[in-house]
Structures are given as structure tokens and as C-alpha cells.
């Protein structure tokens, strides 16, 4: 009899016994895995095996048939399992294919034949539990797509703002650093401001509040950016009052510093600098602080100058309008007298 190569046959383990809806006869059982024969092959001794099991048995060479030994019918060379001496048992395969079958998965009510089970249902049942490759969780096959898209903790996502790829579990951490993530200004209510531009918006937002430029000298007002000029104009006198103690203190400090190091005349020796009370390093520290205060004062004075100029222009405009009003009042009595003449 011509032998058929087993290499071309599908290789899967035997079908579970519980799939059958009726008791199984021993002739349909694989002698190796003891399950329902799948793609049965028959050895030269007459025993049947799944093609998968037979390949495993003979992968390292010919082996004695354990079924023959168990039945005490072992006889060489007939009881030697050899891939070159086995052939597909199509008759047994047709008989097995017609046996009634059912699905073992809980919740599935499928029934049919073994042939239909292998061809249409096995590995396709919606109620079969499978393992997610990413998070290793067990899920129903019918839920695989939803799990991959919405539930898997290890699924990868692309940020819809910056397009960076990251794991779902890191989404909150990414939102905290994403430079394209939209923010809302709590002052003006503007939405969808990218994080990378939010600081610039906060500086220019007319509704955003900041401390008065004169806060360094004691002004406690917090004003909207769009009303800083109005505040400076209305609080000029208050700002001057706050500046007065600072100016007087700086004036005294500068006078003391100049006196300690001024040039003095010495008869016959020319000019010399009067000795300082402390060492040079100790004296330089107050000088640095003084320079900082002077710089701050200069900035404040610039602001005050602008306010004084603005106030002067306003007063000049008021004076001009007052003169015009006075001239009009002088004309009215003359006109009223002329109206009374017959």
C-alpha cells in the first residue's frame, strides 16, 4: 500500500471528549492524548493516533507502540511506530466527523457535528475566553475589540493634541506635561489655549490680575492688567506718600556713605580719603544694597513722571476749557441787554 506523507496534514491536538454529545467509542480515541481523534492516522499495528500526537511520538525516530504493549500484543516490527509506515485513516475520519457535538463555553448554545465544530465554530466562539496579549487579562472573544480600544491598561494611544504615542495608564501624566494640551484662562474665560502659549496669554490678558508696580513700597492693590494705568493715575498721591519714607532713608544712607569716604585736605600732603569705620568688604555690602534700592527707585520715579505728565496735560485741558467757559459767560449779559431794547 502506498504511504502518504504526514507532513502536509493539519497538526492540532485532539478534540476534547466533552465536546461530544454522546458517549464515545474507544475506536475514536487517540492512543496518545486519549481525546477524540483529530485527523486520525493509523499505524501499521492498527492503532489510531491524532496526526499531531503521532508526529510528536516519532519526531526523534521510530518508537515502540505503548498501546500494543498494554494490550500484550506487542510484536516487532509491526508494533514499531514509524512515520513512513503510517497513513491517514479517512474512514475513521468520516465517522468521527458525523458525530454530534456541542460548545463547551459557558453562555454558548451552539450544537452541530464534529465536522461543523472544526470548520466553523472551534476558535471562533464569541463566548470563548482568550488572553489579551498586552495586559494578559482573560476576556471573551466577543469583547476583544472593545477591550483593545477602551479597557486594556497596556493599550497604546496617540495624543490628539501633540500626536505623541504613550500607554493608556500614562494618560494623566502626559496631560500634565503636554505642551499642546488646551487650557482655559480663569480670568477672561478664554478656552483652548495651548499650554505652551498660556504664560504669554496670562501676561497680556486684560482680565488677569497682578500686583501694583508700587507693591515694593507698600501698595497692596491687586489690579487687572487692563486697569493698571487707571490705578496708577487715581493713586498717584498715595504712591507718593508710600515713597516718601523710602526716599528719605536712601538720602540719609547716601549722605553717610559719602561722608565716610570723602576727600579731605591735609596740609603739605594734598588730598587723602578719610578712613572707613569698617573693613572694605564689610562696607561694600551696604553699597550693593543701596544700588539695588536706587535702581528700584529710578524705575518708580519713571512711572511717577509719566503720571505727572498725564496729570499736567489733564489740568491744562481743564484750564483751557475753563477760560473758554468764562469768555462765553462774559458775552451772555451783553446779548441779554440788546434783546430788551425796543
In a domain, 135, yes or no: no
Average pLDDT over residues 243-254: 75
Range of the domain at 59: 17-121
Record the cell numbers describing residue 207, joined without a space: 482680565
In a domain, 143, yes or no: no
In a domain, 50, yes or no: yes
What is residue 172's predicted lDDT score, i.e. its pLDDT? 84
**Helix, strand, or coil (residue 129):** strand
For the chain, the domain total comes to 2
What is residue 333's predicted lDDT score, i.e. its pLDDT? 59
Average pLDDT over residues 217-227: 82
What is residue 8's predicted lDDT score, i.e. its pLDDT? 47
Angle, vertex CA 227, rays to CA 222 and CA 233, nearest 5:
95
91 DSSP β-pair partners: none
In a domain, 27, yes or no: yes
183 DSSP β-pair partners: 193
Among candidate residues 67, 92, 121, the one where a domain is terminated: 121
Q: 267 versus 5: which is more confidently predicted?
A: 5
Among candidate residues 121, 144, 170, the one where a domain is terminated: 121
CATH at 56: 3.30.40.10
Question: Is residue 329 pLDDT above 90, yes or no?
Answer: no
Choice among 266-270, 318-322, 323-327 with the minimum mean pLDDT: 266-270
In a domain, 37, yes or no: yes
DSSP annotation of 36 reads B
What confidence tier does 40 reach under pLDDT thresholds 50, 70, 90? Answer: very high
Average pLDDT over residues 126-145: 91
> Per-residue pLDDT tens for 306-317?
777 777 777 787
Average pLDDT over residues 97-121: 94
Whole-prediction pTM value?
0.49
Nearest to 257 by CA among 288, 300, 296: 288
Q: How far is CA 193 from CA 175, 176, 201, 202, 205, in A?
A: 14, 14, 8, 10, 12
Mean pLDDT of the chain: 81
> Per-residue pLDDT tens for 147-193?
988 889 888 888 989 988 888 888 888 888 899 999 998 888 889 99
Q: In what order do the strands lie in the sheet with 87-88?
A: 48-50, 40-42, 87-88
What is residue 141's predicted lDDT score, i.e. its pLDDT? 93
- The answer to whether 21 touches 101, Cβ cutoff 8 Å, is yes
Nearest to 293 by CA among 256, 239, 254, 262: 254
What is residue 339's predicted lDDT score, i.e. its pLDDT? 46
Among candidate residues 121, 149, 173, the one where a domain is terminated: 121
Amino acid at each position: 500500500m502506498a504511504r502518504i506523507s504526514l507532513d502536509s496534514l493539519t497538526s492540532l491536538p485532539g478534540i476534547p471528549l466533552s465536546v461530544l454529545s454522546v458517549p464515545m467509542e474507544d475506536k475514536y480515541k487517540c492512543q496518545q492524548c486519549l481525546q477524540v481523534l483529530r485527523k486520525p492516522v493509523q499505524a501499521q499495528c492498527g492503532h489510531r493516533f491524532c496526526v499531531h500526537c503521532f508526529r510528536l511520538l516519532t519526531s526523534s525516530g521510530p518508537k515502540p507502540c505503548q498501546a500494543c504493549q498494554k494490550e500484550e500484543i506487542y510484536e516487532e516490527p509491526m508494533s514499531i511506530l514509524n512515520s513512513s509506515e503510517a497513513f491517514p485513516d479517512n474512514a475513521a475520519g468520516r465517522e468521527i466527523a458525523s458525530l454530534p457535538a456541542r460548545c463547551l463555553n459557558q453562555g454558548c448554545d451552539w450544537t452541530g457535528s464534529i465536522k461543523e465544530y472544526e470548520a466553523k465554530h472551534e476558535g471562533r466562539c464569541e463566548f470563548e475566553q482568550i488572553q489579551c496579549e498586552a495586559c494578559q487579562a482573560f476576556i471573551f472573544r466577543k469583547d476583544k475589540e472593545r477591550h483593545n480600544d477602551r479597557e486594556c491598561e497596556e493599550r497604546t494611544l496617540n495624543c490628539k493634541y501633540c500626536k505623541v504615542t504613550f500607554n493608556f495608564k500614562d494618560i494623566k501624566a502626559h496631560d500634565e506635561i503636554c505642551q499642546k494640551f488646551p487650557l482655559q484662562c480663569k480670568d477672561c474665560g478664554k478656552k483652548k489655549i495651548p499650554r505652551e502659549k498660556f504664560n504669554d496669554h496670562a501676561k497680556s490678558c486684560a482680565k488677569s490680575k497682578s500686583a501694583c508696580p508700587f507693591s515694593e513700597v507698600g501698595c497692596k492693590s491687586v489690579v487687572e492688567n487692563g486697569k493698571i494705568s487707571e490705578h496708577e493715575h487715581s493713586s498717584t498721591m498715595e504712591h507718593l506718600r508710600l515713597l516718601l519714607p523710602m526716599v528719605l532713608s536712601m538720602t540719609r544712607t547716601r549722605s553717610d556713605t559719602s561722608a565716610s569716604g570723602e576727600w579731605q585736605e591735609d596740609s603739605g600732603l594734598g588730598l587723602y580719603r578719610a578712613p572707613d569705620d569698617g573693613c572694605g568688604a564689610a562696607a561694600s555690602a551696604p553699597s550693593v544694597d543701596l544700588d539695588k534700592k536706587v535702581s528700584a527707585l529710578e524705575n518708580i520715579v519713571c512711572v511717577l513722571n509719566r503720571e505727572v505728565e498725564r496729570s499736567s496735560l489733564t489740568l491744562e485741558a481743564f484750564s483751557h476749557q475753563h477760560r473758554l467757559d468764562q469768555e462765553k459767560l462774559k458775552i451772555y449779559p451783553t446779548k441779554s441787554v440788546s434783546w430788551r431794547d425796543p
